[in-house]
Structure 1
Amino acid sequence: MRILVIGGGGREHALVWKLSKSPRVGEIIAAPGNPGMARLAECVPVSAGDIPGLLDLARKRGVDLTFAGPEAPLVDGLADVFEEAGLRVFGPRRQGAALEGSKAFAKDLMAAYGIPTAAHRTFADPAAAREYVRHLDGPCVVKADGLAAGKGVIVCDGVEEALAAVDEVMVARAFGAAGNRVVVEERLSGEEVSILAFTDGRTIRPMLPAQDHKPVFEGDLGPNTGGMGAYAPAPVCTPEIYTRIAEEILAPTVRALRESGTPYRGVLYAGLMLTAEGPKVLEFNVRFGDPEAQPLLALLETDLVDIAEAVIEGRLHEVDLSWRPGAAVCVVLASGGYPGDYRKGCVIGGLEAAELTGALVFHAGTAERDGRLVTAGGRVLGVTAVAGELPEAIRLAYAAAELISFEGMYFRRDIGRKALPKSQR
């Protein structure tokens, strides 16, 4: 088979790596790809947002199956365009992708079908949003309605912070058109967990529970990023909680989309808070998480092509997921200053030494310049390690990360620590 992977980040590198393990895959094309992917795939300079260009590429190259990595092309209707052209694509159509493309749409769907989430209201007028913030008179969360690369959520400790957040999103337009509307919601307390599931619109196959680390600094401090690291499985999600999430959140969401005329096929990502009342939805995403994809795909034993075909053909009930025993940890190496301003073009060293340890080094924001690998993004690399136990996976990931260097390199040193007994933290 000839596979097309759309995107150029760490998640897409992990997808390419996993697909390259399939005996059914003969060739992988990445658009636009990155230097890490180039070792396993042919990188073609077509951007992830150029849907006509991607369709032309898929047609000309006789692509058998397309994987859309990032959310934006799906929200813009990539799956609709490909399917209408008779091409097979793994990912939801535009209407289903609105689950991530509009937080207001997702909230309305959850409210209509009784799916547990935070109490909320949606606003298109900054003055009305401010009035509601004052009414809440306490901790809350302000979210840009549209896509903001994982950075459009501002967690506020009180009224003044929330008022400033409303102005940042709706007046200063920090996230552009994504801030035309905001969702203001109660601030939930508990521990976060990510549950991703494959679904064909009826059957769901949940993956291992994972835990992302969004804030930039250790101890979950500082502004939110696209993700500074992740690990799986997350023991905070006990088998009982895992079953509740599948039965009370994932299955009802898929059913709600189907009953509303929006059959959903692909990966459904539920970002959850484990509250005292039970699991509640913080957000839905419509694709693999980044960096959750890295540890999850490192542990997945089932052929990803087999899963994707079963999803597309509506026969996911025939597939059972198989997982490698143990745990996987991904530590993101970021550019200094991220998620704010940061330098690009810094020479990266130590990758070969890191890979010799057995760790997987997924490229997220890299480029080649004059034959040298340089930084080209805020999140530069994802160092992923697998071991029989979580403490060893953490140790291996950090041992490999310490061998890599570039000017201004920063990474959190507490990825996975929450899952360890207090004596080991």
Structure 2
Amino acid sequence: MRALVIGSGGREHALLLGLDRDPSVTELHAAPGNAGTATVATNHAVDANSGDAVVALAREIGADLVVIGPEVPLVHGVADALREAGIAVFGPSAAAAQIEGSKAFAKDVMASAGVATARAESVTAAADVDAALDRFGPTWVVKDDGLAAGKGVVVTPDRDAARDHAVAVIEGGNPVLLESFLDGPEVSLFCLVDGETVVPLLPAQDHKRVGDGDEGPNTGGMGAYTPLPWLPDGMVDRIVTDVVEPVAAEMVARGVGFSGLLYAGLAIGPDGPSVVEFNCRFGDPETQAVLDLLETPLGEVLGAVANGTLAELEPLRWFDGSAVVVVLAAHSYPGTPRTGDVITGADSEGVLHAGTKNNDAGDVVSSGGRVVSVVGRGADLAQARAQAYRRLDAITLDGAHFRSDIGKAAEDGRIRL
């Protein structure tokens, strides 16, 4: 099988490494890729958001399977262009990708499906923000109702901060969504979906805020771990039954059946799971941890979804133990990151590249905010954390920062339902 992975982040590097472990995969390509993907695949300088460009590349290399990593190409219809060209693709149509591209659409689908989620209100005019804020709080959840790479959400007890973000989103050209605050620990559950067939992967927990102890602004994700020792037995099955299957069925009923990876972000409260958000693709950095524990060949898994045979797939097999991923971020991230700094040690085992490229001298340098992610695996969470941070110590990048507490609260037993 020749496989082409679309994207340039740590998620795509993890997908390529997973595919490389599959003996049925004989050739790997990435578009556009990064300095790390170049060590396992052939990189191609192609506009990942252009359906015509991706189709042309897939035909040129004879791709048997195209895997679309990021949300933007999906919302732009790249999967549709590939399907129209008769090329097998893992990723939903543009219409189905609205489950992430439009939070208002997602809320409407959940309401019709009877799925628990936060109360929400869309605001399109800055003049209406104050009155809308009066109907929420004392903790405000303010979301950019568009694609914001995981950084369009502000959760705050500070009304002025909530108002400032809401007005900034509207003045930036997007509606803003105000939501009631959902209490309880959060869970990321990735599910393979083919119409109404749903197969869950291992549950994970992301760490969105930039600083230890969940301090500071939201980022695209500073680290994650899987599985979740505090999650009750049967909760994954409950999430599938009460949340993902009803949403998948509702989308089929609307004529926008989902094919790909449906990511449910949930808060687990006293009454069970409530949806915080849906994404239409693998999440980053959770993917790096989850795929590290997947024993079933990844090409077989993704191909089953792309070819409409997910219902026939054998139950997934997983390695025992835990996996932890820690993100090393560039100076000033999540603000405007400094780029061009030389990275050393990034060719070590367990290091997945995201914001990297090779300069004219052949050095690996930073080219984005989240530069690399480092995965550790162990018999339990403590061992996995120790290995991840040990590997991180071998990397140098001037001005870089990372969280030192990824998975620590779960290791210490401080997360309880």
1:252 corresponds to? 246
For 1:267, the aligned partner's letter is L
Report the alpha carbon displacement of residue 148 of structure 1 after superposing the two structures with TM: 0.8
1:19 corresponds to? 19
Instruction: Provide the rounded CA distance (Å) in 2 between the counterparts of 1:136 and 1:214.
Output: 23
1:235 and 2:229 are equivalent in the alignment: yes
1:182 corresponds to? 176
- TM-score, normalising length from structure 1? 0.95
CA distances 1:268-290 after superposition (whole Å, capped 9, x unpaired)? 10011111221111110011100
For 2:324, the aligned partner's letter is V
Instruction: Provide the rounded CA distance (Å) in 2 between the counterparts of 1:162 and 1:276.
Output: 26
Instruction: Find 1:286's aligned residue among 280, 291, 308.
Output: 280
Instruction: Provide the rounded CA distance (Å) in 2 between the counterparts of 1:423 and 1:62.
Output: 50
Asked whether the equivalents of residues 137 and 180 of structure 2 are also in contact (C-alpha less than 8 Å), the reply is no
Supply the RMSD in Å over aligned alpha carbons: 1.4
Instruction: Find 1:345's aligned residue among 340, 353, 376.
Output: 340
2:256 corresponds to? 262
2:316 corresponds to? 321
* C-alpha distance 137-36 of structure 1, shift in aligned 2 (>3 A): closer
Instruction: Provide the rounded CA distance (Å) in 2 between the counterparts of 1:46 and 1:130.
Output: 44
Unaligned ranges ≥5, structure 2: none
3-state SS, counterpart of residue 128 of structure 1? helix
Report the alpha carbon displacement of residue 345 of structure 1 after superposing the two structures with TM: 0.6
For 2:321, the aligned partner's letter is G
1:367 and 2:361 are equivalent in the alignment: no
- TM-score, normalising length from structure 2? 0.96
After TM superposition, the structure 1 = structure 2 runs for residues 157-172 of structure 1, keeping only pairs within 5 Å, are: 157-171=157-171
* C-alpha distance 423-121 of structure 1, shift in aligned 2 (>3 A): closer
Instruction: Provide the rounded CA distance (Å) in 2 between the counterparts of 1:423 and 1:293.
Output: 24
3-state SS, counterpart of residue 198 of structure 1? strand
Unaligned ranges ≥5, structure 1: none
3-state SS, counterpart of residue 136 of structure 1? coil
1:409 and 2:388 are equivalent in the alignment: no
CA distances 1:203-228 after superposition (whole Å, capped 9, x unpaired)? 11101110000000011111110000
Asked whether the equivalents of residues 88 and 307 of structure 2 are also in contact (C-alpha less than 8 Å), the reply is no
1:420 and 2:411 are equivalent in the alignment: yes
Instruction: Find 2:191's aligned residue among 197, 205, 215.
Output: 197
1:92 and 2:92 are equivalent in the alignment: yes
For 1:368, the aligned partner's letter is N
Report the alpha carbon displacement of residue 361 of structure 1 after superposing the two structures with TM: 0.4
Instruction: Provide the rounded CA distance (Å) in 2 between the counterparts of 1:272 and 1:37.
Output: 31
Aligned pair count? 413
1:60 corresponds to? 60
* % identity of equivalent residues: 46
1:332 and 2:327 are equivalent in the alignment: yes
Report the alpha carbon displacement of residue 142 of structure 1 after superposing the two structures with TM: 0.7
1:226 corresponds to? 220
CA distances 1:192-212 after superposition (whole Å, capped 9, x unpaired)? 110001111121110111000
Instruction: Provide the rounded CA distance (Å) in 1 between the counterparts of 2:300 and 2:341.
Output: 40
Report which stretch shifted further, 64-73 or 161-170. Answer: 161-170
Asked whether the equivalents of residues 130 and 166 of structure 1 are also in contact (C-alpha less than 8 Å), the reply is no
1:296 and 2:290 are equivalent in the alignment: yes
Instruction: Find 2:376's aligned residue among 373, 380, 385.
Output: 385
Report the alpha carbon displacement of residue 236 of structure 1 after superposing the two structures with TM: 2.8
For 2:262, the aligned partner's letter is L
CA distances 1:61-119 after superposition (whole Å, capped 9, x unpaired)? 21111000101000111111110111110011111100000111101111122111001
1:150 corresponds to? 150
